[in-house]
């Protein structure tokens, strides 16, 4: 691999000869392929063949080779997520440090690898807000979160400063910040070409801006998880030092096993707990992660913002009159309530709960009551792309069920007839082609599934079935795989 001279000089000095030699060998090895299984949808499936567990994530598996993921209907159904193994460490961090329900914000979330991991790791009753400021990437994030199917998620498309203005505050904030991407050198040659010492400095400045905004949204006693996929100390240890010195962050240790091969700080004068995944030492790509607690005695963000006319009572921030008006406008009619009743099955502990319904433009949303309160507050000042489950789109007097409902873990199993497809039909469905249904299929909206995993809706109109798979997600390749994928069985 052709690395920039200045990168080699700097990194070999930072790591020392022995570690740099292991790292350099690691970079020349093939990058491992790994997936994370979605427990909400796995239904007893396991990984085919000789998959090995990712040590720091119970749902992670290394695969012996890279399958043709695009043509696996189970990937499109959200049964697993393709994620490089080091990034799954966030699952371990959350499982180790968070034991009661929290409100978490993933500030830089696209395409959604760490957000889907967080959704699986957080205690039941938690809420996750997944945010991405770049619009096109935010749409991909919304797609991946929809496929994952967790109902307690809101996806937004905002800059961190918009969150500061929103008045919302969080127990946990993940800042997986944009970085100079040295950890991607092995997988992506473009990352080598784009690298420069100037870019490292520019990234470090942007990272501090993002963290400074995030810190304002963190509740006293809350946790900030900071991560990059780069090796230099400027974007890593030096930024953690800055958070400690300037913001008062208190580093938090995460229990790790020696056999995982994770390294600590590479700066002799900085001994706070930080977690470095380095190819050659750990089986995965480059990753840096550290956790900092905000002092429980720090002033609450609510009090800080009162001076700027942000008044908040828990999530009930903003102008009360404006908010009541917005909620009134978003309530759904009795007719709509009747149509969608029985489409979902929300459970809390052992109890069934009635979802709160909201209408945003033509979309009808179903939200747990605590998510609805947050949604009402968030939609006043943030650009919400999705919240809870989108049940359907109002069309005249009817509602066309939405793909979000098909992929949600709270879809009621009896709400619609389900037609199993063959592998060839499933791929045709994902290409948005017409699929022939058995002659006795009921008319109207029907779910189609492959190996018990729901893929989406069709509308059976008798002589044919209209394919309702989202146009923008369809598989564009016309390649015909010669055998079924063999990832989960």
Nearest residue to 170 (alpha-carbon basis) of 224, 93, 99: 224
How far, in Å, CA of 232 to CA of 14, rounded?
8
Q: Name the strand (E) or helix (H) holding 312.
A: none
Q: Which residues pair with 392 in a beta bridge?
A: 364, 401
Q: Is 111 annotated for ligand binding?
A: yes
Which CB, 175 or 453, lies closer to ligand SAM? 175
- Phi/psi for 128 (5° steps) reads -120, 125
Q: Counting contacts by CB under 6 A, is residue 140 touching ligand SAM? A: no
Task: Give dist(CA 244, CA 190) in Å, integer.
Answer: 34
User: Nearest approach, Cβ of 112 to ligand SAM (angstroms)?
Assistant: 5
Nearer to ligand SAM, 157 or 344 (CB): 157
- Was 108 annotated as part of a binding site? yes
132 labelled ligand-binding: yes
Does position 184 interact with ligand SAM (CB under 6 A)? The reply is: no
158 binds ligand SAM (CB under 6 A): no
Residue closer to ligand SAM (CB basis): 227 or 402: 227
The reply to whether 111 sits near ligand SAM by the rule CB under 6 A is yes
Let me know: does 250 contact 241? Beta carbons within 8 Å: no
CA distance 216 to 114: 22
Count of residues interacting with ligand SAM (CB under 6 A): 19
Give the C-alpha distances (Å, rounded to integers) separating 423 from 63, 405, 441, 483: 22, 22, 19, 9
Per CB under 6 A, 235 contacts ligand SAM: no
For residue 381, the surrounding DSSP H or E stretch is helix 369-381
- Interacting stretch for ligand SAM, rule CB under 6 A, among 112-120, 256-264, 387-395, 476-484? 112-120
Under rule CB under 6 A, residue 133 binds ligand SAM: yes
- Number of Cβ within 10 Å of residue 347's Cβ equals 12
Residue among 74, 108, 128, 387 that touches ligand SAM (CB under 6 A): 108
Q: Give residues 68-107 in contact with ligand SAM (rule: CB under 6 A).
A: 87, 107
How far apart CA 232 and CA 13 sit, in angstroms, is 11
Q: What are phi and psi of 403, to 5 degrees?
A: -60, -30
Task: Give the E-state strand segments of 362-416 in sequence order.
Answer: 363-367, 384-387, 389-395, 398-401
Contacting ligand SAM (CB under 6 A), which of 19, 103, 110, 371? Answer: 110
Question: 472: annotated binding-site residue?
Answer: no
Give the count of alpha carbons within 13 A of 225, CB side only.
Answer: 30
Residue whose entry in the numeric block shows the structure tokens 């007893």: 44
Helix (H) or strand (E) holding 54: strand 52-54
Q: Does 160 bind ligand SAM (CB under 6 A)?
A: yes
Q: Indicate if 229 belongs to the active site.
A: yes
Residue 3 makes contact with ligand SAM by CB under 6 A: no
Q: Return the residue of 84, 143, 152, 176 that touches ligand SAM, per CB under 6 A.
A: 176
The piece of 133-141, 187-195, 252-260, 275-283 that touches ligand SAM (CB under 6 A) is 133-141
- Is the CB of 137 or the CB of 432 nearer to ligand SAM? 137
Residue 109 counted as an annotated binding residue: yes
Q: Which is nearer to ligand SAM, 47 or 109 (CB)?
A: 109
Is 113 marked within a binding site?
yes
Which of 229, 263, 281, 412 is flagged as catalytic?
229
Tell the smallest beta-carbon distance from residue 120 to ligand SAM (Å): 13
The CA distances from residue 213 to 141, 169, 217, 301, in Å, are: 21, 11, 7, 11
153, 126 contact by CB (below 8 A)? no
Q: 111 or 417, CB closer to ligand SAM?
A: 111
Work out whether 417 is an interface residue with ligand SAM (CB under 6 A). Answer: no
Contact 274, 264 (CB under 8 A): yes
Cα–Cα nearest to 84, from 226, 225, 231, 187: 187
CB of residue 408 to ligand SAM, shortest distance in Å:
21
Taking CB under 6 A as the binding criterion, the range among 95-103, 108-116, 355-363, 389-397 that sits at the site for ligand SAM is 108-116
Least separation in angstroms between residue 228's CB and ligand SAM is 7
Q: Which stretch binds ligand SAM (CB under 6 A): 2-10, 127-135, 373-381, 461-469?
A: 127-135
Determine the interface stretch with ligand SAM among 128-136, 183-191, 373-381, 470-478 (rule: CB under 6 A).
Answer: 128-136
The yes or no reply on residue 132 touching ligand SAM (CB under 6 A) is yes
- Three-point CA angle 268, 269, 271, nearest 5°: 85
- Identify which of residues 27 and 134 has a Cβ nearer to ligand SAM in the complex: 134
Is 120 within 8 Å of 39 (Cβ atoms)? yes
Token digits for 336? 């709509």
- Residue of 88, 33, 3 whose CA lies nearest to 275: 88
Closer residue to ligand SAM in complex, CB, 239/467: 239
- Residues 194 and 124 sit within 8 Å (Cβ to Cβ): no
Across the strands, what pairs with 33?
63
Residues taking part in catalysis: 229
Interacting residues with ligand SAM (CB under 6 A): 87, 107-114, 132-134, 137, 159-160, 176, 178, 206, 210
Q: Which residues are known binding-site members?
A: 108-114, 132, 176
Q: Which residues are known binding-site members for S-adenosyl-L-methionine?
A: 108-114, 132, 176
């Amino acid at each position: 691999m052709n690395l920039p001279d200045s990168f080699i000089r700097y990194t070999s000095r930072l790591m020392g000869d022995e570690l740099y030699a292991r790292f350099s060998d690691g970079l020349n090895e093939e990058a491992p392929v790994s997936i994370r299984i979605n427990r909400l949808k796995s239904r007893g499936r396991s990984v085919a063949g000789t998959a090995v567990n990712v040590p720091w994530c119970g749902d992670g598996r290394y695969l012996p080779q890279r399958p043709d993921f695009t043509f696996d209907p189970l990937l499109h159904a959200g049964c697993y997520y393709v994620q490089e193994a080091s990034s799954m460490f966030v699952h371990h961090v959350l499982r180790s440090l968070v034991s009661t329900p929290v409100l978490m914000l993933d500030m830089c979330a696209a395409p959604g690898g760490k957000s889907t991991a967080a959704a699986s790791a957080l205690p039941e009753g938690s809420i996750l807000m997944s945010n991405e400021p770049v619009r096109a990437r935010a749409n991909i994030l919304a797609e991946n979160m929809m496929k994952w199917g967790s109902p307690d998620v809101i996806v937004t498309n905002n800059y961190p400063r918009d969150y500061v203005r929103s008045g919302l505050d969080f127990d946990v904030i993940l800042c997986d910040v944009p970085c100079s991407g040295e950890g991607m050198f092995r997988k992506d040659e473009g990352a080598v070409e784009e690298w420069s010492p100037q870019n490292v400095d520019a990234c470090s400045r942007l990272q501090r801006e993002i963290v400074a905004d995030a810190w304002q949204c963190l509740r006293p006693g809350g946790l900030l998880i900071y991560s990059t996929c780069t090796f230099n100390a400027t974007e890593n240890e030096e930024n953690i030092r800055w958070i400690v010195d300037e913001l008062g962050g208190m580093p938090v240790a995460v229990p790790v096993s020696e056999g995982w091969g994770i390294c600590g700080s590479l700066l002799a004068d900085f001994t706070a707990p930080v977690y470095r995944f380095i190819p050659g030492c750990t089986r995965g790509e480059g990753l840096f992660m550290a956790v900092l607690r905000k002092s429980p005695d720090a002033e609450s963000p609510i009090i800080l913002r009162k001076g700027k006319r942000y008044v908040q009572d828990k999530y009930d921030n903003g102008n009360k009159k404006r908010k009541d008006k917005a909620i009134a406008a978003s309530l759904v009619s009795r007719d709509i309530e009747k149509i969608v009743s029985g489409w979902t099955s929300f459970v809390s502990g052992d109890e069934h709960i009635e979802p709160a319904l909201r209408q945003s433009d033509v979309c009808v949303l179903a939200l747990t009551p605590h998510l609805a309160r947050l949604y009402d507050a968030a939609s006043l000042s943030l650009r919400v792309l999705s919240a809870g489950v989108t049940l359907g789109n109002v069309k005249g007097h009817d509602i066309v069920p939405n793909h979000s409902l098909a992929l949600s873990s709270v879809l009621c199993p009896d709400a619609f007839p389900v037609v199993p497809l063959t592998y060839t039909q499933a791929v045709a469905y994902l290409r948005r082609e017409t699929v022939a249904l058995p002659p006795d299929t009921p008319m109207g909206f029907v779910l189609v599934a492959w190996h018990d995993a729901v893929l989406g809706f069709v509308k059976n109109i008798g002589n044919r079935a209209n394919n309702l798979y989202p146009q923008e997600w369809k598989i564009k390749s016309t390649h015909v795989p010669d055998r079924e994928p063999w990832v989960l069985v």
